[in-house]
Amino acid sequence: MDSKEIEKLLEKYWNCETSLEEEKQLRDYFQGDVPSSLNETAHLFRYFQTQREESVDAAFDSEVKQKINSGPAGKSVRLWANVARIAAGLAVVVAAGYFIHLEVQKANPNMEDTYSDPRMALEETKKALMMISNSFNKAHQQAGKVKMFNEAEEKIQGTNKKDEQTKIQL
Amino acid sequence: MNREMFETRVLPTKNKLFRFALGLLGSREDAQDVVQEVLVKVWNGREQMGAIENMEAWCMRITKNLSLDRLRSKQRKVTDSMGEGFDLQTNHPTPFERTEIGESMQRITELMASLPDKQRQVMHLRDIEGYSYQEICEILELDMSQVKVNLFRARNFVRERLVKINAYGL
């Protein structure tokens, strides 16, 4: 390639109009001897070339492979890990349920049926209902007293209002 | 994705990922750590990787994001430890490296480093790694016009500086 062609190509390069192929031609050209006017430009293209030769240390690949081997497990191992997690969760729930059941039984030992004869059971139920009924009646009587107080209060308020009205009329 | 696909399609991108991370972080060690993290991420998420069209561009994007995260957390740490004294460590090469690389190459390195971040990233991806504009859009999450403007500005800046160096040795 003659120097005129190179000058043209360089002009295109500076204006960002060169293709990747043309840029490679320039790099190749500047690897050889060049006119002194292009010395500094040659240094630039040689700099690009030397930079491209920069590489990682020799031990790099083995370090990466080692990290990959000791890295997170593959798909099947992860699947099993998830299954194990779910199973452990279920086991905890079942165990907790069992212990709660035991505790409830301890706290209420008379929860089981105590009467085998239906008649006796009916009598006992009647007794229990009567007891509740008596309690309700007692409560009702007490509430009656409160009602009396309310009525008295209303009467008093009523007479007060009448007094005020007569005062206004006077 | 199986192991063979990972080793033939993903692992070989390590040097491109490394150079990109190195450009962002400025430390070989950090850049290698980030690339390892990216590769392990790809492997661990290999079951969802089928939907990704351009795996390499996707890996480059993750590299950029993780590098920037690391940079941010480092900057926080530096700010946090301000009271304990400044960290004077810089990424400038040692005198030995200076002579080894050569003065002119060093000038180009400094010139590239002085570019704004976006421009430097676009120029790196195009001129060093040889990505198409479309791929650069995907990697940097920019639209086409932003990529072209950044590349144009970067090349123009470099060109002007090279002209000055040629003319005045600056």
Question: Chain B residues contacting A, CB < 8 Å?
Answer: 6, 11, 14-15, 18-19, 22, 28, 32, 35-36, 39-40, 43-44, 47, 104-105, 107-109, 112, 124, 126-130, 132, 148, 151-152, 155-156, 158-159, 162, 165-166
Q: Is pLDDT of A33 > 90? A: no
Residue at which a domain ends, from B36, B60, B90: B90
A68 pLDDT band (50/70/90 cuts)? confident
A10-27: average pLDDT = 94
Q: In sequence order, which residues have a C-beta less than 8 Å from that of residue B39 and are 6 or more positions away?
A: A64, A68, B10, B11, B14, B17, B59
Q: In sequence order, which residues have a C-beta less than 8 Å from that of residue A162 and are 6 or more positions away?
A: none
Q: In sequence order, which residues have a C-beta less than 8 Å from that of residue A50 and are 6 or more positions away?
A: B105
Q: How far is CA B60 from CA A45, A52, B21, B131, B139, in A?
A: 23, 15, 9, 11, 6
pLDDT value of residue B100? 45
Mean pLDDT of chain B: 85
Are B83 and B1 part of one and the same domain? Answer: yes
Query: Which residue ranges make up each domain of chain A?
Result: 3-54, 75-110, 119-169
pLDDT value of residue B99? 55
Q: Can you tell me the distance from the alpha carbon of B162 to that of A169, in angstroms, rounded to the nearest whole number? A: 115
Are B8 and B73 part of one and the same domain? Answer: yes
Check which CATH number belongs to the domain holding B139 and give it. Answer: 1.10.10.10
- Residue B125's domain comprises 92-170
Taking Cα atoms as reference points, which of B33, B70, B59 lies closest to residue A57? B33
One-letter identity of residue B26: G
- Interface contact flag, A75 B47, Cβ < 8 Å: yes
Q: What is the 3-state secondary structure (H, E, C) of A82-118?
A: HHHHHHHHHHHHHHHHHHHHHHHHHHCHHHCCCCCCH
- Interface contact flag, A52 B19, Cβ < 8 Å: yes
Helical axes A39-52 vs B144-168, angle rounded to 10° = 130
**Chain B closest-CA separation from residue A73 CA (Å):** 9
Residue at which a domain ends, from B55, B90, B125: B90
Q: In chain B, which residue's Cα lies nearest the Cα of A50?
A: B128
The count of structural domains within chain B is 2
Q: Can you tell me the distance from the alpha carbon of A51 to that of B109, in angstroms, rounded to the nearest whole number? A: 10
Q: Is pLDDT of B138 > 90? A: yes
Highest mean pLDDT among A37-46, B61-70, B71-80: B61-70
**Complete DSSP assignment for A13-30:** HHTT---HHHHHHHHHHT
pLDDT value of residue A111? 60
Mean pLDDT of chain A: 86
Q: How far is CA B30 from CA A3, A100, B56, in A?
A: 42, 57, 20
Are B51 and B134 part of one and the same domain? Answer: no
Are B82 and B48 part of one and the same domain? Answer: yes
Q: Who wins on pLDDT, A108 or B69?
A: B69
A75-91: average pLDDT = 85
- Interface contact flag, B128 A23, Cβ < 8 Å: no
Interface test with A, best of B97, B162, B164, B168 (most A CBs within 10 A): B162
Taking Cα atoms as reference points, which of A141, A150, A55, A48 lies closest to residue B13? A55
Are B147 and B126 part of one and the same domain? Answer: yes
- Interface contact flag, B19 A20, Cβ < 8 Å: no
B89 pLDDT band (50/70/90 cuts)? very low
pLDDT 10s digits, A93-151: 999 999 998 888 887 766 666 677 888 889 989 999 999 999 999 988 888 888 888 88
Contact B162, A40 (CB under 8 A): yes
Report the complex ipTM. 0.81
Are B45 and B118 part of one and the same domain? Answer: no
- Interface contact flag, A23 B130, Cβ < 8 Å: yes
Q: In sequence order, which residues have a C-beta less than 8 Å from that of residue A132 and are 6 or more positions away?
A: none
| Element (DSSP H or E) covering residue B3 | helix B3-5
Are B135 and B116 part of one and the same domain? Answer: yes
Residue with tokens 């750590």: B33
A47 pLDDT band (50/70/90 cuts)? very high
Compute φ and ψ for A8, nearest 5 degrees.
-60, -50
pLDDT 10s digits, B10-54: 999 999 999 999 999 989 999 999 999 999 999 988 888 777 888
**Chain B closest-CA separation from residue A1 CA (Å):** 20
Name the residue among B35, B112, B156 with its Cβ closest to that of A56. B35
